[in-house]
Amino acid sequence: MHDDTAEVRDPTDVVDEYEETLDSVLSDVDAPEPDGDGGVSLGLPGLSLNRRDFMKAGVAAGAMGAVAGCSSLNGGGGGQATESGGGGVDHSVAPGEHDEYYGFWSGGHSGELRVIGIPSMRELTRIPVFNTDCASGYGYTDDTKQLLEDSGGYSWGDNHHPNLSETDGDYDGEYLYVNDKANGRIARVNLTYFETDAITDVPNMQAIHGCTVLSPDTKYVFGNGEFRAPLPNDGRDLDDPDSYTALFAAVDPESMETQWQVKVDGNLDINDSGKEGRWVIASAYNSEEATSIQGMTRDDRDDVKAFDIPAIEQAVENGNYEEVNGIPVVDGTKESPLNQGDRPIVKYIPTPKSPHCVEVEPNGDYAMVAGKLSPTVTIIDLNKLPEVENPADAVVGRPRVGLGPLHTTFDGNGHAYTSLFIDSQAVKWDIEAAVEAEEGSEEPIIERQDVHYNPGHIQALEAMTTDPDGEWLVSLNKLSKDRFLPVGPIMPDNDQLIHIGQGEKEMELVADHPAYPEPHDCVFAHKDKIDAKKVYDPEDYEETYITEEASGVERTGENSVHVKMTTKRSEYGLPDFTVQEGDEVRLTTTNIEGIQDIIHGVAIPEHDINYAVAPQDTREVTFTADEPGVYWIYCTFFCSALHLEMRSRMLVEPAEG
Ligand code: CUA
């Protein structure tokens, strides 16, 4: 039986300690040499779907061979920090060669995702999600504009936790789901075309922080409500924080409709799914239900919530809910009748105060809750969880890892790697040794690697599956300070690539990678699990596909025209077209090229229009031709030697009178 208040430190001490660390590093900041080297709207509330939602989904085949197992403990506790910097391990990928893994990075409040090859760390592309993007035209074309408008009409989002869809506990290459912390949304990215195809504005929730899919078969996508608010938030209970609520939401991965929500005591931070489809574990830091930092850190402990998904489904089926804004909301608070029987829907597991993330290890036996203000990781035994009467008895280990533990990842060989925000380290420890060791022991620690500086998430290859690949991990460091050429006061983050091998080899820091603000997390999939198409399927566009013969202008109303136009090297289907001043112009463009990588752009000066049309793609924009004159339309992608000559003219005739 573990003392759940052990190792709690005064937050003021922790903050002081952090600032001292920061000061000591910052004092070197002017040193000349850095150390080391180094849609279709379904008419559903809050739901927006792109038309490609209905395309044929391509399931990627491919399975990785099992990695060699090894989990012997390397000597005793403590572990010396490794001071390495780009030593023996080569992460370069030769010109013309491909990376072994796709890395999908959240882009934080830039609103986008970034796709980065591992191990080279080369940026392969960006996927706009909650932001507009003038390179691709996302947010400018009619369907993508509608997608953003129908999901709230916000111009930005704060994406944090990318999750790949799973079949049998492994990535199936179909979709990626990511949350918008700022506006309580969950988006889906189609991995056949690497495009956002649905965004759900989850009702009743302001900030969705944690986001995970239910393993092993992606039955739901879950969102954690971080900010407590009145329910519904319609002007009631404005300054009555005691009556605010935090919600846990389940979204259907296909329809992207919110299925149900569970209200809880305290709040919800980050979450992860068990491997068998029963438990979702969510961390939380505000059991005090306070509205200030002093209040939120007052008590010595918080509660991790374990959501029993089948039990919640049963409650919904039995009609044990109240409906709020069209969504069934189940009462999962401590005093709820649904938590009094022998199958409570939410178990509250005490941890030291204000923990941060929770991650379930590959076997699905343990959930690791990083202490943040406690220098420990709390290990919850998910197999014991159904049996124990007191949920605290499911806590089976609490290794002391260092200051500011935030996130944990896994190599599939029995090791956990925890990021230490305050100590600026990645610490490797043995999971079974930690379960067997005394609480607060450093004995399970195998090795420490300094990182630069202040890491948040840490991710190893395919660590969220039942069969991680080990070999590499990335530490997403929040501060870069002296690591790169100065670029003004807003500095890049520093994503560091660390080689971890397959067994007990020493961790080795291999590469620094500057990142524009502000990635939070990433997820990696072997290249064989993703089947990205290089050309669109014209069958997706039966309604709108334009042929060269069909290019032309059709008057559709007194003040509206439909302009249809193909693109190919190096001309548009119409050398010019004429509209009247004040016309609403619907412009449909099909790229009739069948060859990969021949993309054309359609830019219309002084009309705020620019979008890409990839091979066999059809895109539409609608705008008003409100000023008479000649407007040159030109191609923005360098498509051929005669790219500059690829132009058309829009002639806007002055209105009569
Ligand atoms: Cu088409 Cu440049």
Report residue 249 as tokens.
């939401």
Q: Is the CB of 600 under 6 A from ligand 1?
A: yes
What is the pLDDT, as a whole number, of residue 16?
Answer: 57
Q: Is the CB of 646 under 6 A from ligand 1?
A: yes
For residue 48, give the nearest of 56, 40, 59, 36 by alpha carbon: 40
User: How close is the Cα of 547 to the center of ligand 1, in Å?
Assistant: 18
Residue 569 Cα: closest atom of ligand 1: 1
Residue 600 Cα: closest atom of ligand 1: 1
Among protein residues, the one whose CA lies closest to atom 1 of ligand 1: 600
Low-confidence residues of the chain: pLDDT under 50: 1-9, 11, 18, 21-45, 51-79, 83-86
What is the pLDDT, as a whole number, of residue 172?
Answer: 97
What is the pLDDT, as a whole number, of residue 611?
Answer: 97
HEC assignment per residue over 89-134 = CCCCCCCCCCCCEEEEEECECCCEEEEEEECCCCEEEEEECCCCEC
What is the pLDDT, as a whole number, of residue 23?
Answer: 47
User: How close is the Cα of 634 to the center of ligand 1, in Å?
Assistant: 8
Which one-letter DSSP state was computed for residue 338?
Answer: G
What is the pLDDT, as a whole number, of residue 345?
Answer: 98
Beta strands across the sheet bearing 629-634: 576-580, 647-653, 629-634, 600-604, 609-613
pTM attached to this predicted model: 0.88
What is the pLDDT, as a whole number, of residue 88?
Answer: 77
Kind of pairing between the strands at 195-201 and 647-653: unpaired
Contact between 516 and 487 under an 8 Å Cβ cutoff? The reply is: no
Give the Cα separation of 309 and 317 in Å (integer). Answer: 12
Neighbouring residues of 117: CB distance < 8 A, sequence distance ≥ 6: 93, 98, 99, 101, 102, 103, 124
Q: Is the CB of 208 under 6 A from ligand 1?
A: no
Identity (one letter) of the amino acid at 4?
D
Give the Cα separation of 64 and 44 in Å (integer). Answer: 39
Q: Is the CB of 472 under 6 A from ligand 1?
A: no
For residue 165, give the nearest of 218, 89, 108 by alpha carbon: 218
What is the pLDDT, as a whole number, of residue 13?
Answer: 59
Encode pLDDT of 590-609 as tens digits: 999 999 999 999 999 999 99
Residue 635 Cα: closest atom of ligand 1: 2
List b or e across 391-423, with b for residues whose CB sees 16 or more CB atoms inside 10 angstroms: bbebbbbbbbbbbbbbbbbbbbbbbbbbbbbbb
Transcribe 507-556 into DSSP letters: PEEEEEEEE-S----EEEEEGGG----SS--GGGGTTT---TTT-EEEEE
User: How close is the Cα of 638 to the center of ligand 1, in Å?
Assistant: 5
